[in-house]
Structure 1
Amino acid sequence: MHSSVVCLLGLWLSLGRGVAAASGSGIPNCKGCRMNVIYPAAAGETRHPIPLNQRIVRVINHYKRLSLEQLQQRAPRRRHDPQPDDFSFIVKIVVQSSVRCSGALLAPRLVISSSSCLSGVPPSQVQILTSGGRTHPAAKLEWPRSCPELILITLRTAAPGKPIGLCSQTLKRGGNASMLMASNDLSYFGRRHSQVVPNRACKVTFLQEETVYITPNMLCLRNSRNPDKCVTEQGDALLVGRKLCGLNVYGSRCRADSLNADLYMDLARLRTLISHVIQKLS
């Protein structure tokens, strides 16, 4: 985070007394900071003109006033929060030196992804890129008969990273989950909060795709109405808390001002199948 942003946040979090007085005005954040912020004026407050030598870089439409006592009560909770999210289970699947899709590490030598990512590709051409930039050759590709949209990739050697556990219960309509996306070099991650929606949303999204099909092993998740923000791809993870509940099957097909949705494998339904594979590897 930029030092000026930290300075800005530090000032306003520590000085709850100054928020009301500053409403509606552009103010210098603190000594050495070059950024300014405008807070909305509360009812009955006067908006002050912004000096010409100040530049507005952010407008906050809503905020919550916190007293020093409230801030002190929050601090112990933050100290006892679980460890930061560990995304080392996220991998990229490389075919002939080109990143093709994402996957997830379920065991040191087992990666799960969408079968549409590797259709017709032999194991000799597949490598798995893990956090830290290392690649690991695939030893075996397996398409379970009971779930043709799924592919299991066995590695020749154990990969670094912390494997992720699976959800124990399937997501219901209206259930909340997080779409997790990663850059091709696994240096950046993005998360989109989403919700399970009726399958008809996915039918509309993929209406022109003759090769796309929806099975009972799939979930339909809402994506962005802005096509520029629909960046999910095959094999991207769907998380609830710290559990893997789904994997993106086909990627995104978004149109402007449309109820866009993605199809995800319901991994809770496949938990027994995957557990047997992990046991064989062990």
Structure 2
Amino acid sequence: MSEIVYRDRETGELKKEKVYGKFFLEAVYGTSLLSKLFSLVALPLISNIPFFSKLYGQRQKSLKSREKVRPFIENFHVDTREFADPPEAFQSFNDFFIRKLKPEARPLAPGDEVAVLPADGRYLVYPDISAVEGFYVKEKKFDLHRLIQDEFLFDLYKRGSMVIARLCPTDYHRFHFPCACLPSKAKLINGPLYSVNPIALREHISILNENKRMLTQLETQRFGKILYIEVGATFVGSIKQTYQPQTPQLKGGEKGYFEFGGSCLILLFQPNKIIFDQDLVDASLEFVETKAKFGSSLGRCR
């Protein structure tokens, strides 16, 4: 199976991603006959029954799991200088996974007219959602209507703009508000927990329409109404919201975090409300994700 290549925003270089659990992903979501049999029989059970995610999650919260922290940091070259707490302070692997960072580690792009990236991750941006709506991978369709399951919201965003941020297990897993806003209460749409890694999405783009997700509408002065969607993934049954609904939030303020696993954020903007940074647009046109950090510029209001 081909490598996952992304663009590093800080250097502009193309790099190959080191995938956590790559053997499992290729075995489950690959194109071999054995993989297809597994995806037909066992995968729906694992992904649709919460027990498996809860059991795995509990293992990551055990005291014994802290033994995995240091090897993981060394294997994936995680920068511990950014941590708010030293690695020795984590009581479990999940504590490490939901770690906080020092404020100075993620400076915010200045200006009320600038929206920032909401999380560390690998980004694709689409200035026109209608160009993505109905796009197929392996005969599977990305379907905005199924994603949000709301007729009013679908009409509001169907000709707008979209951001997809893929968070890897190696990433900082707290997510933030892209601009000053007044957020609604998060709405849960239950679903399975398939992987959102590109290895899986190449074969099953409809995963984004199906996985467990939470939707929050952000009322903003500069960017209109933004729909903020957290999508769960394999073994990420827990999407934790830490913000107060119907309370004004600052740009860059914490919204919540994902517990252990890979995960995904989707932001939807109304038509003609944001101009994405050109480097993000150019890479996305080539179907190349841009690896970037929370707080860096996403785009400007129109």
TM-score normalised per structure 2: 0.22
Q: From the CA coordinates, give the structure whose radius of gyration is larger.
A: 1
TM-score normalised per structure 1: 0.23
- Structure richer in helix, relative to its length: 2
